[in-house]
């Protein structure tokens, strides 16, 4: 296995894909931005420009919302039987599966994601998300109400209307469909604003949606920047809901814009500083693997990263040795190389932000056990970084770093572990490693977070709701709960006369 810092390049084996779509997708057509402006999307492997992308702003959002509103108010999509929407969504999934390699490659060159993981996991998963919600599209039912007097009542579940989806850069494909798939099943129309760092796959999905037969205006993709296109979407008076995934800081702005405009509904999946609690009875090798998976997967660019690792004192020293050994053996390199385990951070800004947090950690007195430096002269590659002697009031223990940086802390008792785990403004996820069922039950019920993983990590499933407590936001992705985010309840009541039954 190669040592960190020298993963080999596979560019001679895999040819970087031709960029086919660089314009906005509005009302079923690829169009230039109103202003004619473009922006660069950068390859994080080398800092070079991949392509110039149309830069949408308020004017383009207005055009896209108008198209989505017309498609909702007058178009066929919300009025199709659920089974007909499902048929088109299955066709969309088929097309994604037929283009899996090209889509995975786009996310690799745009976001630095591992090509092997994209091809085997991310892109097949988005097809499965479409199929999951296609299966729900014809099962959207209200209920008959047992009224307390001579009235007949029932509820209808109706699509909420025009939805704005604001998608982050760390999982450009997965989160695109975490939002789009349930909204399609519900019968909504939508505008997607992908992150400016990773617009390529979103535009390709727009192209495939047209081929699948999704009517014009149902899916619109406006590439651009958060303060312009994203802000315009959040405050638009004709958007009925905004679904946002990203930082807590921007989540505040989205919610404020929604409140100050038309009181549109909002769902937010925001930041995290997730704890992993490792108890004395844990298998040390397994615990070390889970801890590193939790902080290195996707280069640490994941909201649920287990960046705070609390270890019971009985196995602390042994676990630390394992972590250092495994971290030093991590293969860093070109994400197209099948041997690579850690690709580049998404862009220069994120790369420098992570390095600044590492300097904060050293300056505040934490002990740097391994890593902490760039691993290549070119591109945005970082070594896996582990700190010990971390105090809970240090920035590296409080702030979401969004990179391959682990903070190690020691605890004695279960009560102390629970208190430490909850000592954060976030509440997205948590992990527990123990063989004791009583400990697992007690701790999982005591941590204030939206999902708890016991003896596993990143155990996501289409059927399992996922979302946050506290400043990690509200609303749930995955599961039927996500479908209900894009539906609203209408009650219908009529009087009944001379009925033998209420």
> Cα dist. 344→47, 123, 236, 341 in Å?
10, 20, 36, 10
Question: Would you say 151 and 496 are in contact if contact means Cβ atoms under 8 Å apart?
Answer: yes
How many other CB atoms sit within 10 Å of the CB of residue 349?
11
- Residues 6 or more apart whose Cβ sits within 8 Å of residue 253: 231, 234
Q: How far apart are CA 292 and CA 296, in angstroms?
A: 6
| Per-residue tokens: 6 | 């020298």
Order across the sheet with 151-159: list the strands: 144-145, 151-159, 487-495
Per the annotation, the verdict on 325 as an active-site residue is no
Among the listed residues 389, 362, 360, 359, the one whose alpha carbon sits nearest the alpha carbon of residue 374: 359
- Residues 6 or more apart whose Cβ sits within 8 Å of residue 284: 315, 318, 319, 322
- Residue 11 DSSP class: T
- Beta 144-145 vs 151-159: how paired, if at all? antiparallel
| Per-residue tokens: 181 | 């798939």
Order across the sheet with 189-193: list the strands: 29-31, 24-26, 219-221, 189-193, 162-166, 241-245, 265-269, 473-474
Residue found by looking up tokens 């204030």 in the block: 448
> Which of the following is catalytic: 97, 158, 260, 269?
269
Where in the sequence numbering do the catalytic residues fall? 269
């Amino acid at each position: 296995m190669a040592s960190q810092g020298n993963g080999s390049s596979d560019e001679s084996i895999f040819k970087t894909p031709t960029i086919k779509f660089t314009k906005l997708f509005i009302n079923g057509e690829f169009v230039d931005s109103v202003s004619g402006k473009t922006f660069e999307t950068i390859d994080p492997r080398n800092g070079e420009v991949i392509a110039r992308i149309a830069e949408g702003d308020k004017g383009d959002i207005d055009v896209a919302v108008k198209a989505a509103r017309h498609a909702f108010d007058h178009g066929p999509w919300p009025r199709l039987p659920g089974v007909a929407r499902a048929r088109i969504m299955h066709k969309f999934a088929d097309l994604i599966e037929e283009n899996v390699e090209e889509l995975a490659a786009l996310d690799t060159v745009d976001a630095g994601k591992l090509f092997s993981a994209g091809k085997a996991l991310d892109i097949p998963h988005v097809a499965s998300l479409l199929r999951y919600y296609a299966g729900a599209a014809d099962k959207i039912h209200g209920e008959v109400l047992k009224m307390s007097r001579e009235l007949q009542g029932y509820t209808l579940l109706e699509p909420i209307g025009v939805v704005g989806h604001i998608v982050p850069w760390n999982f450009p494909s997965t989160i695109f469909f975490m939002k789009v798939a349930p909204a399609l099943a519900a019968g909504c129309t939508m505008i997607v604003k992908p992150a400016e760092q990773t617009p390529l796959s979103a535009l390709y999905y727009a192209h495939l949606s047209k081929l699948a037969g999704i009517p014009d205006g149902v899916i619109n993709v406006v590439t651009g920047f958060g303060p312009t296109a994203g802000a315009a979407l959040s405050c638009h008076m004709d958007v009925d809901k905004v679904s946002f995934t990203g930082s807590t800081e921007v989540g505040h702005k989205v919610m404020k814009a929604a409140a100050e405009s038309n009181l549109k509904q909002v769902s937010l999946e925001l930041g995290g500083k997730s704890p992993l609690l490792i108890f004395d009875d844990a298998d040390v090798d397994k615990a070390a693997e889970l801890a590193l998976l939790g902080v290195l997967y996707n280069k640490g660019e994941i909201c649920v990263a287990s960046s705070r690792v609390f270890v019971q004192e009985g196995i602390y020293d042994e676990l630390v040795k394992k972590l250092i050994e495994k971290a030093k053996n991590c293969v860093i390199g070109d994400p197209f190389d099948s041997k690579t385990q850690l690709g580049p951070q998404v862009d220069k800004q994120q790369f420098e932000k992570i390095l600044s947090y590492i300097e904060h950690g050293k300056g505040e007195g934490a002990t740097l056990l391994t890593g902490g430096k760039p691993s290549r002269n070119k591109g945005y590659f970082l070594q896996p970084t582990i700190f010990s002697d971390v105090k809970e009031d240090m920035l590296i223990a409080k702030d979401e770093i969004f990179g391959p940086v682990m903070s190690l802390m020691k605890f004695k008792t279960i009560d102390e572990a629970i208190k430490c785990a909850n000592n954060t403004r976030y509440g997205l996820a948590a992990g527990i490693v123990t063989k004791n069922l009583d400990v697992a039950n007690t701790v999982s019920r005591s941590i204030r977070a939206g999902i708890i993983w016991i003896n596993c990590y990143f155990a996501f499933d289409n059927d399992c709701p996922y979302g946050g407590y506290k400043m990690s936001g509200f609303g749930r992705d995955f599961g039927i709960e996500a479908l209900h985010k894009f539906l609203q309840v209408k009650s219908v009541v009529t009087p009944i006369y001379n009925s033998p039954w209420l």
